Amino acid sequence: MIGPDAEVLRRDHLHIGGQWVEAASGATMSVFNPATEAELGHVPAGGAVDIDRAVAAARAATGSWAGTPASERARYLQALAEALGHRAMEIGTLVSHEIGMPVRMATLIQAGLPTMVMGTYPALATELHDLEVIGGSTIERAPIGVVGAITPWNYPLHQAVAKVAPALAAGCTVVLKPSELAPLTAFLLADLAEEVGLPPGVLNVVSGAGEAGAALVDHDGVDMISFTGSTAVGRRVAASAGARLRRVSLELGGKSAALLLDDCDLADAVAATVNQCFLNAGQTCIAWSRMVVPKARYDEAVELARVAAEGFVVGDPLDWSTTMGPLVSAAQRQRVKGFIAQAITDGARLVAGGLESPPGITSGYFVAPTVFADVDEKMSVAREEIFGPVICVLAHDGDDDAVRIANDSPYGLHGAVFSADRQRAMGVARRMQTGMVDVCGGGFNPLAPWGGWKQSGLGRELGRFGLEEYLQTTSIQLP
């Protein structure tokens, strides 16, 4: 397969105020291919000075962009959606190189999902100003202003679009700081913004490491921070926002549970759970990393999970037969292996995978698909977000016990319920303390709210709920 062009991989300029400019430091940061461990490309090493320039550019553009008719903003969003769709193969291949997701899935998900999400916002932008009257009051909505968007590496373009699209639809301007591990698609998004004629300063892209992110979080010229990442960093972002009484939206970690009730098709439910958990080598915030199964069918479920895990084809992400690629970095691999080692020490039974590299793998940040059984609910493997291809199988003694296990977590991002009885499954789903639940194989809905309870975050993304995060509301009382 043809790889990304050199100009896509080697970025020497930031996108600020509609111009491509050098970082103040003049330095660059390397981006590595996690499957080969070789340098893939580089991006500018932006810092506080660059963030300051980007915020100033975004601030200068707020008035004109907020005053742009919603129908015109919708046309820009539609043009961006179409441009993303036209470059789906390029995007999928780029993300496959950058984070290691197998190219077959990267083209479908990493390219298809942001195209779909961007495509939902033209209509939502035009619906934004529909008149709402409550009694004698007229309700007006206005854009919040300058948005600082900080995105992670695991779904780099999707996470950027999930913030940029609603912010632009609302009439906000954006400074986007992508993860230093996977920043390349953010620059591709800037290319497309320039291609469709998005006005200068409306979307600014500054790559950089911790200094750039901290400068954006703490900048007094930013009206809102939208952050996706770990709960630990989310607390820091929330603290800064609280000190400034500034709007914040946080999509953080998860330790989601899939509840398999005693009447479900066990083979189908186990396969669905393992496949979902191991998507993107387990580097997905909504991964169902706790599979909670009926005690009477525990051994059968464990064996089914072993077979499913050992069915993954681990290897070169650019091979269309590969179904699992590497982790994103050496540090992430070491972290995941640390959890595996701790689970073994704690007495969990290793059923598949483990600490050894997958067969035939000699380079790259790979971890074998791993299944643990005989897991105590208090073990770290059952409580901590691992962000790797590791699933633990827990036993429940009925619906009430299954719900108790699911809710016994500091997180509440996602979950699933499998049952032959949809109404029974719905009853269980309503008792789960989590922001999102899939019932009996329910699929992704780009218009439904996305976000968590408890330590999984604040606020919502996607659809109307995501758009409303970027708006301020005024009620005008009439006589």
Interatomic CA distance for residues 251 and 228, integer angstroms: 5
Q: Are 74 and 169 in contact (CB under 8 A)?
A: yes
Interatomic CA distance for residues 394 and 349, integer angstroms: 12
**Per-residue b/e over 301-333, b at no fewer than 16 CB within 10 Å?**
bbebbbebbeebebbbbbeeebbbbbbbbeebb
The residues assigned a catalytic role are 251, 285
Interatomic CA distance for residues 13 and 206, integer angstroms: 9
